[in-house]
Amino acid sequence: MKSSTSPRVRSVRRVATGCAAAAIATTVLFSPSAAFAETADNGGAQRNDGDNTVPLRSAIVDGPATNVILLIGDGMGDSEITIARNYAYGAAGQLPGIDALPLTGQYTTYSLYKDGARKGKPDYVPDSAATGSAWATGTKTYDNAVSVDINGAPQQTLLELAKANGLRTGNVSTAEIQDATPAVQVAHVASRSCYGPDSASCGADALAAGGLGSISEQLLDTRPDVTLGGGSASFTQTAKAGDWSGKTLFEQAEGRGYQVVKTAADLAGVTAANQEAPVLGLFTPGNFPTRFAATTATVGGANTPVSCAANPDRLGTDLSLASLTNSAIDLLNSPAESSKGFFLQVEGASIDKRDHSADACGQIGETIDLDEAVRAALDFAEKDGNTLVIVTADHAHTSQIVDSTPPTSLSTAVTTLEGSVMKISYGTGAAGGSQQHTGAQLRVAGYGPGAANVVGLIDQTDNFFTIANALRLNRDTAALSAGAKATLPKTVFAPGETFDAALTGLAGDRQITGVVASEPVAVPKTDVLAGSATIPLTAPTELGEHTVTLTGSQTGTIVTARFTVTADGQPLPGGATGTGGATGNAGGLASAVNGALASTGAAVFPILGAAALALLAGGTALYRRRHNRPIPRA
């Protein structure tokens, strides 16, 4: 490994700093490009520094990892990486973040058709929803799907699993936080545009229709420790069903203990983020403004080279993607909270969006922005020593570096760092329309424990398993809730007396619902924080024995506790006080429904609807049995 740089590199980097690119990191993890002579000389452009066998061998580190940071450049294919490098660092230069990862492979990204004769066959050009779902869940699915399989069954995500295993979690994007890439870690919907309670596309996923809710509402349920991005507009919408019906999602977030932050100053004031007080930072109504001002590609446009200009509307650098990445890492890795490690996903979203708009400078700026976030992640990982960093994209995109101005398709030319001209063509859409994604395989790069698993030709779904294995995630969430128990403060209550049930050991679940019987009274849906919850209850007015039955929303685990109501709240003479304060029951029915959020093909119940029905039927039967059973006498 070499850390020295030749005068050529230094001069290139100095220009880059004063030009388009931002600060250049000095640390080089692995340095195939550290030494250049003039590129016209024999060997002058080579990136290898002699034999790389030894540094490559030392870059292969056994897992497990304590932390994983997954960085996604949306739409960042090889073209987009090369274009940004050429522009900002030169053809012989190096992106300080993306190009510093020592282990690289390629992965396939195709999605699957959902319907008709082609159901299950490859769709060679995927969207961000299918591709994000692939790495978030390990299951290939259809375009438009957010972490549901081709039959609509919700699939457990890395973020959900990390949380269930006691790790801390974060989700950062320059897009609306409801956009597909951030959404795939926190929600399960059939249609990616189901952003909020007002989204007509939610259909059966809407809370009012008995579904899990819109992406924004599910985000609040999933409760990552840190969420940073855009998309505040959806949180001003009002819930139409559920316990928070009639309240805006911002009101709901605050009511459920979130620290809602809307400015860089707000974020700077946050000192801790955890399950009791997670951070929801939404800094723009929609997507973040881009770093560079937009350029418009035209037919013949590459005949007149331009330079990229700063976008005056860009957010302050304290809200750059690198800055938000550092904030998230700081909060997730704080000594008080980091004992079990963390999983963090970071997305540079608008490489894709500017590519769709045939905006060369826009996409270049967003790629540089992501690269700086990668550098921030690597700087942390290098110091930490137990962090796996993976950098990749979701799907390839339109932009191509071409030799001459295309006669029929849109193009733009930019003057690069070296003063040369790079012509960029957009040939998959008409002027003013949306350019298309493309179907080529993508680069995937890794650093740290377990990174060897990105090498070679893999599939996007491999990322799920690489990360789950690196973090040693137990994917059997029902097992993580199997030790659940409920404890009541005493065993006998007066009619109408209020008390709390303390629930512990329900790590596989994020919410709990329940019923107090005999006359059934619903228990409010309650957030389970790190396996524990405090559930406010009211003793029925009917004298006799009663049961509270609590059901974990994600695993279907059932916990019961029994108590007695007497007229004066005192035990009956002879000790007929029921069964005692705490009875845990996480077996039986729970094991029958633990596929509610499973992995298709590896689990018990492939369809949530079926699991929910089974749960409903089972829960009702259980309730009836308990209700009809004579009160046991001690």
- Contact footprint for Zn ion (CB under 5 A): 352
Query: CB 463 → Zn ion: shortest distance, Å?
Result: 19
Q: Is 394 annotated as a binding residue?
A: yes
Report helix angle 128-137 to 462-470, nearest 10: 30
Query: What b-and-e string marks burial along 89-119, b requiring 16 or more CB atoms within 10 Å of the CB?
Result: bbbbbbbbbbbbbbbbbbbbbbbbebeeeee
Task: Decide if 286 contacts 297 (C-beta within 8 A).
Answer: no
CA distance 394 to 192: 15
Q: Which is nearer to Zn ion, 221 or 352 (CB)?
A: 352
Q: Is 179 annotated as a binding residue?
A: yes
Q: Is 347 annotated as a binding residue?
A: yes
Q: Which is nearer to Zn ion, 393 or 512 (CB)?
A: 393
Q: Is 74 annotated as a binding residue?
A: yes
Beta strand 442-447 pairing with 387-393 = antiparallel
Q: Is 420 a catalytic residue?
A: no
3-state secondary structure (DSSP) of residue 468: helix
Q: Which is nearer to Zn ion, 428 or 564 (CB)?
A: 428
Largest CA distance in the chain: 100
At a CB cut-off of 8 Å and minimum separation 6, what does 599 contact?
137, 138, 139, 155, 156, 475
Instruction: Kindly give the residue spans of alpha helices, DSSP state H, lying in 284-359.
Output: 321-332, 350-356
Q: Which is nearer to Zn ion, 358 or 548 (CB)?
A: 358
Query: CB 127 → Zn ion: shortest distance, Å?
Result: 7
Q: Which is nearer to Zn ion, 176 or 352 (CB)?
A: 352
Give the 3-state secondary structure percentages of the chain, helix then strand then coil, rounded to 5: 30, 25, 45
Query: CB 437 → Zn ion: shortest distance, Å?
Result: 6
Q: Which is nearer to Zn ion, 352 or 366 (CB)?
A: 352
Q: Is 462 annotated as a binding residue?
A: no
Residue entry with tokens 């005192």? 570
Q: Which is nearer to Zn ion, 146 or 167 (CB)?
A: 146
Query: CB 459 → Zn ion: shortest distance, Å?
Result: 20
Q: Which is nearer to Zn ion, 111 or 504 (CB)?
A: 111
Query: CB 355 → Zn ion: shortest distance, Å?
Result: 7
Query: What b-and-e string marks burial along 532-546, b requiring 16 or more CB atoms within 10 Å of the CB?
Result: ebebebebbeeeebb
Q: Write the Ramachandran bin of 339: left for phi over 0, alpha for psi from -120 to 50, otherwise beta.
A: alpha
The one catalytic residue among 31, 79, 128, 214 = 128
Among the listed residues 100, 182, 154, 112, the one whose alpha carbon sits nearest the alpha carbon of residue 510: 154
- Beta-sheet strand order (sheet of 400-402): 298-299, 410-415, 421-426, 400-402
Query: CB 360 → Zn ion: shortest distance, Å?
Result: 16
Own/partner long-range contacts of 55-60 (Cβ < 8 Å, ≥24 apart): 55/1, 55/30, 55/31, 55/102, 56/30, 56/102, 56/103, 58/1, 59/29, 59/30, 59/102, 59/103, 59/447, 59/451, 60/103, 60/451, 60/452
Q: Is 546 annotated as a binding residue?
A: no
CA distance 104 to 358: 28
Query: CB 361 → Zn ion: shortest distance, Å?
Result: 18
Task: Decide if 538 contacts 529 (C-beta within 8 A).
Answer: no
Task: Decide if 444 contacts 390 (C-beta within 8 A).
Answer: yes
Q: How many angstroms separate the Cα of 112 from the Cα of each of 118, 157, 397?
A: 9, 19, 18
Query: CB 393 → Zn ion: shortest distance, Å?
Result: 11
With CB atoms as reference, the residue minimizing the distance to Zn ion is 352
Which residues does the annotation place in the binding site for Mg(2+)? 74, 179, 181, 347
Which residues does the annotation place in the binding site? 74, 179, 181, 347, 352, 356, 394-395, 437
Which sequence positions are flagged as catalytic? 128
